[in-house]
Amino acid sequence: MAVWALGINHTTAPLDLRGRFAFAIDQVEPTLRGLRASFSHQPEAALVSTCNRTEIYCAGEKTELEHTLDWLAHSGGVSPSLLRAHAYTLEDGLAARHAFRVASGLDSMVLGEPQILGQLKDAVRASEAAGALGTTLSQLFQRSFAVAKEVRTSTEIGAHSISMAAAAVRLAGQLFEDLSEVKILFVGAGEMIELCATHFAAKTPKTIAIANRTLERGEKLASRFGGEVMHLAELPDRLHEFDAVISCTASTLPIIGLGAVERALKRRKRRPMFMVDLAVPRDIEVEVKALEDVYLYTVDDLAGVVQTAQASRQAAVAQAEAIVDAGVQSFMHWVDQRGSVPLIQQLNAQADEWRALELHRARKLLAKGEDVDAVLEALSRGLTQKMLHGAMAELRAGDANARERASSAIQHFFLRKER
């Protein structure tokens, strides 16, 4: 089986291009169905999509990277040449290595962050539900989870790492002298917003509010932090009330526009606003960044902040890479062995057929009252003759080269000493 991977991430593609290839978890199943149907022979497939990456993993009889890239480009509405300029394509061992590094947090914007492992597991579950995973990709991802666990427990790769949420708090602290006097609005109620709210709540801000499409989920999160909840439709009228806005939803279009922010600034009498857009695609229109009194940061803007303490983790990275190397070698050995499975199955089937024939013959002789020892002797002799017939025929072949090859094989398989 061939294994291949295609992807874009925070190091290879700008945010707006990544936004074209952002798939919500409920889009994974129909997307994979469309991808697999586009091949003449449906390969195994998995789709991983986070704010920092979109990746497709496939396994099939032969590598079809160009077709995969063309299909993904079409799904995102861009030319294959544009996507190719920002994508990475990997085969076999390199594809496995990449998957293991992603699961271990070695390929993340925040080195060693654990969130990607949960996102990867969610993606695998969604791919399984779509019926797109087979034996090879299942092995690939299960081994990636095992490698990630070993990296997490055997190294200090996650020590001192600064999460996106902590980075947002640090940046807010640089703008506002006292975060306890700041009114903060969180837009969305997913995992990332929950993480951000937890970090900001530790600074005891003056006000915490949650704006969400469904009030029930927003209320659940707001109650944890003693905050209020509002519907997304209230945003334009209430945006001016907040000094800081942290947004991360699954919306495919911006939900905070330039006009809304301009009106909010006017009502705030030009008091500055701190805004963080952690969504891909964007939640906040890109033009907002140009406003004089707005400090807007995206996930890519936070890259420099989260990479602090990098040097202190280099030893842990070396340990983690060694664990990944061992995992890749083990997986590729497994893949290589899979090529022998059909032959092993044929050999077992032939042996079972011979055994059944000799047993049938022995039972008939016993039923006739033949001596047990004589029957056993005949059974063993019959099995031995069937097993050696092919080898003996090759040794008697007229072709000298064939006899030499047969002689070497027989010595290897039948006459070698026990190891």
**Segments of 96-192 assigned E as strands:** 183-187
Active site residue 248: no
Residue 180 phi, psi (nearest 5)? -70, -10
Q: How far apart are CA 224 and CA 242, in angstroms?
A: 19
Q: Which residue matches tokens 């003759």?
A: 385
Q: How far apart are CA 287 and CA 261, in angstroms?
A: 10
Q: How far apart are CA 21 and CA 75, in angstroms?
A: 8
Q: Which residue matches tokens 């929950």?
A: 194
Do 282 and 298 form a contact (C-beta atoms < 8 A)?
A: yes
Sequence-distant (≥ 6) Cβ neighbours of residue 324 within 8 angstroms: 97, 100, 101, 104, 106, 147, 151
Do 286 and 16 form a contact (C-beta atoms < 8 A)?
A: yes
In this structure, what token pair is assigned to residue 195?
Answer: 């993480």
Polymer length of the chain: 419
Q: In what order do the strands lie in the sheet with 273-277?
A: 228-231, 207-212, 183-187, 244-247, 273-277, 294-298
> 114 vs 146, 314, 347, 382, CA distance in Å?
14, 17, 46, 61
In this structure, what token pair is assigned to residue 261?
Answer: 């922010």
Sequence-distant (≥ 6) Cβ neighbours of residue 295 within 8 angstroms: 171, 175, 272, 273, 274, 275
**Segments of 299-416 assigned E as strands:** none
Residue 205, amino acid: P
Do 151 and 353 form a contact (C-beta atoms < 8 A)?
A: no
Q: What positions carry a catalytic annotation?
A: 51
